Structure 1
Amino acid sequence: MFIRSAAAILALTTAAAMAQQTDITIGMQLEPPNLDPTGGAAAAIDEVVYANVFEGLTRFGPDGAVLPALASAWQVSEDGTVWTFTLRDGVTFHDGTTMDAEDVVFSLDRARAEDSTNAQKALFAGIESVEATDPGTVTITLSAPNGNLGFNLAWGDAVIVAPESAETNATNPVGTGPFTFTDWVQGDRVELTRNPSYWGPAPALETATFKFISDPNAAFAAMMAGDIDAFPNFPAPETLASFEADPRFSVIVGSTEGETILGMNNATLSDIRLRQAISFAIDRQAIIDGAMFGFGTPIGSHFAPHNPDYVDLTDAAAYDPDRARALVAEIGEVPTLRLMLPPPAYARRGGEIIASQLREVGIETEITNLEWAQWLEQVFKGKDFDLTIVSHTEPADINIYARPDYYFQYDNADFQALMEKIGTTTDGAERSALLKDAQKKISDDFVNAYLFQLAKTGVANANIAGLWENAPTQANDLTGVSWTQ
C-alpha cells in the first residue's frame, strides 16, 4: 500500500511538473492613468487593454498589417466614401450584453462628438455618418475618400464599447476581448482573466498580471528573481547583456513606432532661431549611446525609418554646436528653459545629457522630474512647459502636427492644408510624395528636436512564445502568447 501511494504521488507530481503554465506576469514601467483607451492619451493604457480587453472593427497584427477584428469583412464603394462593415456573429461584451451594429454606431459617434474626450479625435474627423443597416452591418459614410479608414479604426482609440458601461471603463473596463478585467491594485498591478465566452479562439493563458515597476534597477532584480515572466519594454538596456548570457531568458530586440523627441512648446519658444539653436546643440548619437546604450536609430523628423515613405532628414539638424552658439548670440539673452521629464529612462537619462549639451552652447535649463500622471496633466493637457522628452508610440501619427491645440502648439495653415490633402489622396505615389513633403515641412520649421526611433528591447523567460518582437502599436497582445513547457 505504501509503495502504491508513493508511486501515485510521484505520478501526480510528475504530471503537475509537466503541466503547461497558464498564468503570466508582465512587467511595465508606467502605470496607466485609467483603463479606457477611448478616454486617455497614455500608451500604457493600450499596453494593458489593446486586443486583450477591448477590440475594434479592425486591429493591428504583429507586423503592422490591418486585420479583421469585430468586423469579419468590409467593402468600399467605387468613389471611396462609403465603407460597409460586416460584423461577426455571436459577440458579447464581458457583462453578457450583445455587441451589434448599434454599439458600433454609439462608439464611433461618441468618439467623434463635439464634446468627445478621445485623445485621437482627429482619426474620426472625416466621418459624415455611421449607420446600422441591420444588427450585423454598419455603414460609414465619409465626407471625402480616405483609404486609411481601416488603419484608423485599428487604433486603440477606436475600440467598440457599450453604452451601458462606457462611462465606467476607466476603472472597470468592459470590452469584447479574450480577457476580462479582474482587479486593479493601483500603484501595483492590473489582473486579467481568460474570457470563457470569447467569440474567437481561446488564448492559451488563463490569467495575466501586469505589474508596474518604474525603477530600472528594480525591474532588473524582479526579472532575475523570476517575479516577472516578461518585460516587453525593458527599461534598463544597459543590463541586456546579462540576460543574453543567461539561458533562462530570451532578449527580444525589435522596432517601435516611437519617435522620441525633445518636444518644444512653440508658444513659449516662438523664435525659430531658438528652436534651431536647441536642435543644432543636440548630439543624437551621444543620447542614444548614453541614455539607451546604443539602442535607437537617429531621426530628423516625426516619421519611422522603417516606413516606406520615410525621408532621412537627420542632416537638416545635424549636431553643430558652433552654429548653435552663433544663433544664441544673435538672439541675445535666453531665459532658463523648463525641461519637464516623465519617468521613462530614455527621458530621465536623455534629459541630463541634453541639459549638458544645451549648457555648452549657452542655453540653461531647469529640470523637473514628473510622474506620469503629472506629465499628462501639466505638459500634455496644460501645455505648461518649455521642453520635454517623450516617445510618440502611436502609428504613423505625423497628423498631430496639424492640431494647433496639441501640446507643442504648432499652428501652421500650410501644414494643416497638406495633411487635409493627404487625407483625401488615394493614389499611392501621390500620397507618398505628400507624406515626404510633410516630413520636410516640420523639419524645416524646427517644430521639435527629433532624437531617435525608440527600439523595442524586451526580456522574457526563455520558455515563453508569442510575444511581439516589434511594436506597430502600443500593445502587449497576449492572444497568441503561451508557455512552451
Structure 2
Amino acid sequence: MVQFSSLSQKALSFTAATAMSVLMVSSIAMAAKTDIRVGMVLEPPNLDPTGGAAAAIDEVVYANIFEGLTRFGPDGSVNPALAKSWEISDDGLVYTFKLHDGVKFHDGSDMNAEDVKFSLDRARAEDSTNAQKALFADIANIEVVDPTTVKVTLSKANGSFLFNTAWGDAVIVAPETADTNATNPVGTGPFIFENWAKGDNVKLGKNPDYWGEGVKLDNVTFKFISDPTAAFAAMMAEDVDAFPNFPAPENLPQLGADPRFNVIVGSTEGETILAMNNKKAPLDNVKVRQAISHAINRQAIIDGAMFGYGTPIGTHFAPHNPDYVDLTAQSAYDPKKAMALLEEAGVKDLTLSLKLPPPSYARRGGEIIAAQLREVGINTEIANLEWAQWLEQAFRGKDFDLTIVSHTEPFDIGIYARPDYYFQYGDPDFIAIIDQLTGEADPIKRSELIASAQKKISDDAVNGYLFQLAKSGVANAKIKGLWENSPTQANDMTGVYWED
C-alpha cells in the first residue's frame, strides 16, 4: 500500500505539473500576437521620403519611422504630430508651431526647433532633391524662437500649408543623419528601422523611448511580393498576415469566403492615368491626345484589369472629394470620334511607346489599352519596366510616349502646374488657376477654382483619365486597426493590433 500510495502521489504530481504546463502553453498561445508581416507589391528604391517619389517609400516609413509637424489621419483629416499646436496670423502669412517637448530621434539625439528649420530649409533649397519641392515654395523664412517653438513666414497666404506639412515629403529629419536616411532611416516615430534584406523585406521594431502613445506591435515586417499569384499563395499559406493593397483582385471573393480573412475595400487618392508626354510630337497636339482619350473604354479596363474594383474618372481628382466634378462624358469612349480627330490632326500609321511599371493595374491595363488603341489605328510598343527603370526612364528622364501610373498623393492636381513634371504640361492658364487657389482662403471661391482646374486639364486632354484606384486589401481576421481608406500612401501601423 505504501508503494502504491507513493506511485499515486507521483502520478498526481506529474499530472498536476503536466496540466500546469498545458495551461501555460495555452495561455501563451491565446495571448495576442505582437508581430505582423505585411505584404507590399513594390519594394521601395530607398527609405528616405524626402528624397524619392516612389509611393512605396511612404508605405513603409510614413508615421511608422518618420513624422512631420502634422500628419494625415485615416479619414484624411490633418492632425497634430510633432507640432502639438499652432497659431496663424490674421493675414495668413505667419505660422507659429509649438512642438512637443522631450522628443528624441532614434539615435538618442533631441528633436527640436533647429531640426524643423533644417528640414524645411533643406526641402526648399535650390539644390533640393525633394520630389515635392513645390510644397515648400511659399516659405519665405523660418525662425527658431526657442527649442520648442518655430515660426514659419510665407511669402503669400497658402490655405493648404498645414495640409502640405502632413505629406511624407515634409517629415522632420536630423542634420546628422539626413544623408544616410535612404539606407538607414532615423526618425522620431514609434518604430525603429532594424534591417533591409534587399529584394525581400524591411523589418521594423518597436521604439521603447517613443515620445507619444506607444504602439501595440513589437515588430513589423514588410514583405515584397509583386506577382499576383505569389501574393495569393502567401495569404492562403499565412506567410503574410495582411496585404493592404492586394494585387490580385480576382482572388478577393475566394479570400472573403474564408473565415480566416477579412477583405477590406475602401478608397484611395490614386488617380490612375494613361500619362502622355505633352512635349513629344504628335502628343503635343491636343487633338491627338483627345483621340487617345476617346479610344479608351474605362469600364473595360476596370473590369478586365481590376475585376470591377475602381471608379471611372474624367479628370485628375478623387471622386470622393466634395469638390469633384464628373467630367467623364468629355472623354467618353467613342472610337469613331477618335479616328476623326486623328484625321483632323493629319496623323496616320502612328506607333507610340507604352512603358509600364510593375503594378498589375499597369501591366494588365496596358494590354487592354494597347488593344483599344489598335482599334483606332494607333499601335503601341509595350515595354515592361521594373520600378527603378520606370523612375529613371519615364519619371525623371521623360523618355516615353505613354505610361500608366496611379498618383496616390492627396489633392495633387497642382502637379499639372509644374512645366518640368514628367508629362510636361505646365499650361500658363492652369498655373494661374493654381496660383489663385493657393492664395485663396474662402471655401466657396476655392471650390470654384478647383472645379476650373479640373475642367482645364480635361479640356486639354493632358492625360487619359482612367479610374480612381480602389483600396482592395485582405488581412487575417484577428488583425484590427488597418486603414480602410488611403488618404495618403501609407501602411500606418501605429494603431494596428491583434485581437485576443
Distance between the aligned counterparts of 1:365 and 1:412, measured in 2? 27
Corresponding residue of 1:274: 288
Number of the residue aligned with 1:332:
347
Matched AA of 1:299: I
TM-score (norm 2): 0.96
Distance 1:301 1:278 in 2: 15
Residue of structure 2 in register with 1:301 after alignment: 315
d(CA) in 1 for partners of 2:343, 2:164: 45
Matched, 1:99 2:114: no
Tell me, yes or no, if the aligned pair for 1:47 and 1:474 is still in contact at 8 Å: yes
CA distance in 2, matches of 1:244, 1:211: 22
Residue equivalent to 1:443: 458
Task: Give, as a single letter, the amino acid of the residue that structure 1 aligns with 2:181.
Answer: N
The residue type paired with residue 284 of structure 1 is: R
**Aligned counterparts of 1:94 and 1:115: Cα–Cα separation in 2:** 27
Distance 2:267 2:308 in 1: 14
* Deviation larger for 406-415 or 256-265: 406-415
2:301 equivalent among 287, 293, 297 = 287
Does 2:86 match 1:77? Answer: no
Partner SS state of residue 378, structure 2: coil
Unaligned 5+ runs, structure 2? 1-12
For 1:61 and 1:50, the matched residues in 2 are separated by: 12
Match of 1:422 in 2: 437
1:329 maps to a residue whose letter is E
Partner of 2:55: 43
Decide which of 457, 467, 471 is 2:472's aligned counterpart: 457
Instruction: Give the counterpart letter for 1:182 in structure 2.
Output: E
1:201 is aligned to 2:213:
yes
Distance in 2, Cα, partners of 1:87 & 1:218: 45
Whether the 8 Å CA contact 2:357–2:405 is kept in 1: the answer is yes
Question: TM-score, normalised on structure 1?
Answer: 0.99
Query: Quick one: distance in 1 between partners of 2:287 and 2:456?
Result: 16
1:192 paired with 2:204, answer: yes
Deviations 1:426-470 (A, max 9, x none): 111001100100000000011000000000000000000000000
Alignment root-mean-square deviation, CA: 0.7
Stretches of structure 1 lacking an aligned partner (at least 5 in a row): none
Amino acid at match of 1:386: D
Measured against aligned partners, the alpha-carbon deviations of 1:336-381 in whole angstroms (never above 9, x if no partner) come to 1000000000000000000000000000000000001100010000
Alignment equivalent of 1:359, drawn from 355, 374, 384: 374
Contact 2:348-2:377 at 8 Å conserved across structures: no
In structure 2, what is the Cα distance between the partners aligned to 1:320 and 1:362?
14
Rounded to whole Å, the distance in 2 between the matches of 1:439 and 1:233 is 27
- Corresponding residue of 1:132: 144
Task: Return the match for 2:413 from 378, 398, 403.
Answer: 398
Query: 1:328, 1:334 within 8 Å by CA — same for their partners in 2?
Result: no
Distance 1:86 1:42 in 2: 31
Contact preservation (8 Å) 1:34, 1:171: yes
Q: CA deviation at 1:131?
A: 1.1
Partner of 1:88: 100
Counterpart of 1:305 in structure 2: which amino acid? P
2:252 to 224, 240, 264: 240
* Whole-Å separation in 1 of the counterparts to 2:420 and 2:491: 30
Report the identity percentage: 70
Tell me the distance in 1 between the aligned counterparts of 2:99 and 2:144: 11
Counterpart amino acid of residue 362 in structure 1: G
TM-fit CA distance, 1:272: 1.1
SS of the residue 1:418 aligns to: helix
Q: CA deviation at 1:5?
A: 2.3
What is the CA-CA distance between 1:333 and the residue it aligns to? 2.4
Once the two structures are superposed, the pairs formed by residues 47-196 of structure 1 within 5 Å of their partners are 47-196=59-208
Name the SS of the counterpart of 1:138 in structure 2. strand
Residue 289 of structure 2 aligns to which amino acid in structure 1?
A: R
SS at match of 2:16: helix
Structure 1 residues 167-216: Cα deviation after superposition (integer angstroms, max 9, x where no partner): 00000000000000000001000000000000011100000000000000
Q: What is the alpha-carbon distance in structure 2 between the residues aligned to residue 221 and residue 294 of structure 1?
A: 22
Name the CA distance, whole Å, in 1 between partners of 2:488 and 2:131.
15
Within 2, Cα distance between the matches of 1:86 and 1:162? 18
SS of 1:340's partner is strand
Q: How many residues align?
A: 485
**Runs (4+) of structure 1 moved beyond 6 Å?**
none
Give the 3-state SS of the residue equivalent to 1:436 in structure 2. helix
Shift of 1:334: 4.2
C-alpha distance in 1 between matches for 2:426 and 2:76? 30
